[in-house]
């Protein structure tokens, strides 16, 4: 082990990951590092050549695996602000609440089990807790790793943004399913900020379609983040304290997740995902 740690990194640009990541137009993108530029196929992933029987065929180049992973990564829709986020830089040292360490462990376990079972795995994770605890950081880190290390097709969707796109689409004759299907069909999906917004009947109908389609397919895994909890704090006193501290009464302390999305969607979600509760103080507020 020591020897391995001591071995020098060959490429300072990618630290031997073979790719570099960057934020482009608000999305995280990746490209092959210069150190792996393939001379055999010139980056196309295909080699056209004559076999021993004299017939010309197209062969898949050995670099195609990386190219496939990068393509999946660039289609995943990961928001640009998470360009450098990963499980290795998720902050858990005290005074951070110990539930965050647990959330990190469970994220790692999820990846391990998913890979061990070769994707024949349908139980996702539901990250619940106040804003600023890094729920999206964890969910994004999971799909980054599944894509770049294991070549799994994953996508990220901000459901609130998707609803906006669908609404715009009506005016341009683009059907709902054109927007929804890429997400419904993907192997691993992150739904970020579930239950954000007003949750009108129309919004809940779309959400129901979304969740039900994935629920009915044993082969799909859904990772969800939400600011809403499954139970409200019992003591009224705690509520008051909370409201005094922030000066506002936010929706996530007034409603449960079930109240926001309805019992049917909620119960399906509970079957599809294991709950991961995050507690403690907002990272971003602490910085001020
Ligand atoms: Zn490199
Ligand atoms: Zn190649």
- Is 116's pLDDT higher than 50? yes
Convert the pLDDT of each residue in 138-170 to its tens digit: 999 999 999 999 999 999 999 888 999 999 998
24 strand-pairing partners: 27
CA 60 to ligand 2 center in whole angstroms: 8
Reduced to 3 states (helix: H, G, I; strand: E, B; else coil), residue 70 is helix
Q: How far is the CA of 114 from the centre of ligand 2 (A)?
A: 29
In the block, residue with structure tokens 């409201």: 243
Question: What is the reported pTM?
Answer: 0.86
Domain regions of the chain by residue span:
11-69, 81-286
Q: Please say whether the beta carbons of 265 and 222 come within 8 A.
A: no
Cβ atoms within 10 Å, residue 144: 23
Q: What does the alpha-carbon distance between residue 188 and residue 113 come to, in Å, rounded to a whole number?
A: 14
Ligand 1 centre distance from Cα of residue 49 (Å): 28
Distance CA 162, CA 168 (A): 10
pLDDT digits (tens, 9 = 90+) for 39-94: 888 877 788 888 888 888 998 888 889 989 999 999 999 999 999 999 999 999 88
What is the chain's percent helix, strand, coil content, to nearest 5?
45, 20, 35
* CATH level 3 topology of 81-286: Rossmann fold (3.40.50)
State the virtual CA torsion across 89, 90, 95, 99 in degrees, nearest 10.
Answer: -150
C-alpha of residue 79 to centroid of ligand 1, in Å: 24
């Amino acid at each position: 082990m020591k020897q391995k740690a001591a071995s020098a990194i060959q490429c300072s640009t990618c630290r031997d990951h073979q790719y570099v990541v960057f934020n482009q137009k608000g999305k995280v993108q990746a490209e092959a590092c210069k150190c792996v530029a393939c001379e055999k196929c010139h980056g196309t992933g295909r080699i056209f050549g004559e076999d021993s029987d004299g017939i010309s065929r197209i062969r898949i180049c050995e670099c195609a695996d990386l190219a496939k992973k990068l393509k999946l990564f660039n289609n995943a829709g990961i928001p640009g602000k998470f360009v450098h986020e990963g499980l290795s830089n998720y902050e858990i040292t005290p005074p951070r609440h110990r539930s965050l360490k647990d959330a990190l462990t469970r994220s790692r376990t999820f990846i391990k089990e998913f890979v061990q079972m070769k994707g024949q795995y349908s139980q996702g994770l539901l990250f619940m807790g106040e804003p600023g605890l890094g729920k999206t950081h964890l969910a994004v880190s999971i799909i980054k790793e599944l894509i770049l290390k294991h070549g799994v097709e994953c996508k990220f969707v901000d459901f609130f943004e998707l609803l906006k796109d669908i609404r715009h689409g009506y005016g341009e004759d683009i059907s709902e399913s054109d927007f929804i299907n890429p997400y419904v069909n993907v192997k691993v999906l992150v739904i970020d900020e579930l239950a954000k917004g007003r949750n009108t009947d129309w919004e809940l109908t779309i959400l129901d379609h979304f969740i039900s389609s994935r629920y009915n397919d044993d082969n799909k895994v859904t990772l969800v983040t939400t600011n809403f909890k499954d139970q409200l704090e019992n003591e009224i006193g705690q509520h008051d304290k909370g409201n005094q501290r922030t000066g506002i009464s936010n929706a996530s302390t007034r409603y449960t997740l079930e109240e926001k999305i309805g019992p049917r969607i909620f119960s399906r979600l509970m079957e599809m995902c294991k709950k991961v509760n995050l507690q403690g103080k907002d990272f971003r507020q602490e910085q001020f």
